[in-house]
Amino acid sequence: MKTARDLAMLTRMNGLTRWFSLAAIALLMTGCSTVVVQPPPGASSNVRTAPAQHEAGTYTVVKGDTLYSIAFRNGTDFREVARLNNIAPPYTIWPGQVLKLSGHGPAPATEHAPPPVVAKVPLPPAASTPVFETVETKPAAATSLPAHASSVAAAPVAVTHPAAPVNAPPAPPTNPAPVVAAAAPVVAASGGTRTAGGVKWRWPASGQVISRFQSSAAIPGIDIAGKMGDPIVAAADGTVVYSGNGLVGYGELIIIKHNDSFLSAYGHNRKRLVTEGQQVKAGQQIAEMGSSGSSRDELQFQIRKDGNPVDPLDYLPSR
């Protein structure tokens, strides 16, 4: 028969056994410890701003841009862009240059840093405390913008051609620059001129207006009907300040500066016949009508005063 002393000893032994069992379980559990993967040191857990070329109020110049096309795209006056960036005439810019704009740039693109990732990974049995390790992540490389032809001076690019056979005539250059012949003045079929804003205007094409001016439109101008290849002429004397296809929605585009206040723009051409810096006269053919950037053959014509779109019908002569 067990005495009270024996019962006390059994109770103590049962307690020790339970304690050792719990300790063994705890040791086994240290083999699968929780690891917290933290963001890189110094990384913000809030909003992270995208690169400078995507910030509101700035624009990074790409090949094919001119100061006038950048101002035109952002709905501001080229003189304001030049003033903000201390650019003097003849307004030379270069690819990669970051320009300040008067708040007309695109809204800043933002991305949120991911929260810390909690994962269970096996650890050596000796580990008895949670392990904290830093995992460095790098953002994906930004996709470069397509390059377009431009009057902006760029670094020369060396081109390697295959070796030519001995005594063979020299191979023609790769992608030779188009030869632009001086276009003879062409008088628009509608004829007539009208002086407004110190500029003598004439119709740039002979077709009918099929879409009238709306200041709130994405492309604020008028559309003039016609057929593929019809002549497009300069609406007034001036200097070509842009000839290219780098503005989305305009196709093959020409911009002419008439004075410090007025520009005119000619979009959706099939072919451009003038180059940047070229002087043109009113009625001189500058392009052939087409449907680049459009679903039909037409001329998209704009007049801008101090960078702001205005109704061309307020300046063109009646017909």
pLDDT for the residue numbered 159? 41
What residues contact 254, with CB distance under 8 A and at least 6 apart?
A: 240, 242, 243, 265, 266, 269, 272, 274, 286, 287
* Residue-range definition of the domain harbouring residue 308: 194-314
Least confident range from 180-189, 207-216, 223-232: namely 180-189
Question: For the chain, what is the mean pLDDT?
Answer: 73
- Indicate if 131 and 224 belong to the same structural domain: no
Query: Chain centroid to CA 259: how far?
Result: 28
What residues contact 257, with CB distance under 8 A and at least 6 apart?
A: 68, 238, 239, 240, 241, 263
pTM: 0.58
What residues contact 93, with CB distance under 8 A and at least 6 apart?
A: 61, 65, 66, 67, 70, 87, 99, 152
Average pLDDT over residues 48-61: 60
Q: Which amino acid is at 301?
A: F
Most trustworthy range by pLDDT among 16-20, 48-52, 95-99, 147-151? 95-99
pLDDT digits (tens, 9 = 90+) for 217-270: 889 999 999 999 999 999 999 999 999 999 999 999 999 999 999 999 999 999
- Indicate if 307 and 198 belong to the same structural domain: yes
Pick from 112, 136, 160: which residue ends a domain? 136
Query: Does residue 78 form part of some domain?
Result: yes
- Indicate if 301 and 224 belong to the same structural domain: yes
Q: What are φ and ψ of residue 231, in 5° steps? A: -70, 135
**pLDDT higher for 271 or 137?**
271
DSSP 173: P
pLDDT level of residue 190 (50, 70, 90 thresholds) = low
Cα 16 from Cα 233, distance rounded (Å)? 102
Query: Does residue 12 form part of some domain?
Result: no
pLDDT for the residue numbered 55? 61
- Indicate if 124 and 199 belong to the same structural domain: no
pLDDT for the residue numbered 183? 46
